[in-house]
């Protein structure tokens, strides 16, 4: 299998970037997309050229590090997967594959396909935790939680912070990410003491980071690897309004 990779190259944040084409052969349909990039980098090393910088860690769709745009779509041609779960069988022999980093003001490019997503960390620092005492694990049934509530909290907790929601949104909104982190904790009894302050602090930090506003186009839900529903955004907005009224 032979393809042409058209990849965004940028040496550093303030440098001028550009696309560069690479002809790559000896690929197989069973290779993951990241394995294909590894193969290309091996060729570049042998030629004495700079390798392509991109992020990854688990390669199991868990860590959220590997996100890139592939042919104009976050994580590639399929909905609700990560880049590392994409395989070369999704492309045809002779295809040209365009690979570029997330495009958002709040995600500045570090190098090539790597962006700085520390804005997410700063949002989490503003309230994505609870003040419950730690120590010996309590009895599992000490706090009874209904299945519907537990399921809703776990669905929101599935967010891996990859940033696809921001990258695919026409407004570069982080509403889905922030809503998932807020609703996960605010739904559970352990998160109730800080519930109002949590939503106010985290949404305020989201705005300070320069993310755009949500206009409910739903693209974030389609591209989210965890399939997190945009209903979480509506719930976050309702919680925010209530918290503001209560002062």
**206-226 b/e (C-beta count within 10 Å ≥ 16 → b):** beebebbebeeeebbbbbbbb
- Is the domain spanning 118-246 CATH 1.10.1060.10? The answer is yes
pLDDT of residue 138: 72
Q: Report whether 47 contacts 36 (CB < 8 A).
A: no
Whether the full predicted model's pTM is greater than 0.85, yes or no, is yes
Q: Report whether 19 contacts 26 (CB < 8 A).
A: no
Domain extents for the chain?
3-110, 118-246
CATH of domain 3-110: 3.10.20.30
pLDDT tens track for 49-106: 999 999 999 999 999 999 999 999 999 999 999 999 999 999 999 999 999 999 999 9
pLDDT of residue 132: 72
* Beta carbons within 10 angstroms of residue 1's beta carbon: 18
Directed axis angle between helix 147-157 and helix 175-186, to 10°?
150
pLDDT tens track for 90-121: 999 999 999 999 999 999 999 999 999 999 99
**Distances 208 to 20, 119, 122 between C-alpha atoms, Å:** 34, 9, 10
pLDDT, greater one: 194 or 139: 194
pLDDT of residue 143: 81
Q: Report whether 57 contacts 112 (CB < 8 A).
A: no
Q: Distance between terminal CA atoms of the chain?
A: 61
């Amino acid at each position: 299998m032979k393809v042409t990779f058209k990849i965004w190259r940028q040496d550093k944040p303030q440098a001028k970037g550009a696309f560069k084409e690479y002809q790559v052969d000896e690929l197989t349909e069973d290779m993951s997309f990241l394995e294909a990039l590894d193969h290309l980098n091996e060729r570049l090393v042998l030629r004495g050229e700079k390798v392509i910088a991109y992020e990854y860690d688990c390669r199991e769709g868990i860590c959220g590090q590997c996100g890139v745009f592939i042919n104009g779509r976050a994580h590639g041609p399929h909905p609700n997967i990560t880049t590392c779960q994409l395989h070369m069988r999704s492309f045809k022999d002779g295809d040209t594959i365009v690979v570029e980093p997330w495009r958002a003001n709040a995600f500045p490019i570090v190098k090539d396909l790597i962006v700085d997503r520390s804005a997410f960390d700063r949002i989490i620092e503003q309230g994505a935790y609870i003040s419950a005492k730690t120590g010996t694990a309590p009895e599992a049934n000490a706090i009874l939680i209904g299945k519907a509530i537990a399921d809703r909290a776990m669905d929101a907790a599935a967010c891996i912070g990859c940033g696809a929601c921001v990258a695919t949104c026409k407004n570069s909104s982080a509403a889905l990410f922030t809503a998932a982190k807020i609703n996960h904790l605010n739904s559970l009894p352990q998160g109730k003491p800080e519930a109002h302050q949590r939503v106010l602090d985290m949404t305020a930090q989201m705005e300070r980071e320069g993310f755009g506003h949500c206009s409910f186009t739903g693209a974030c839900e389609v591209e989210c690897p965890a399939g997190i529903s945009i209903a979480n955004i509506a719930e976050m907005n309702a919680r925010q309004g209530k918290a503001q009224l209560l002062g």
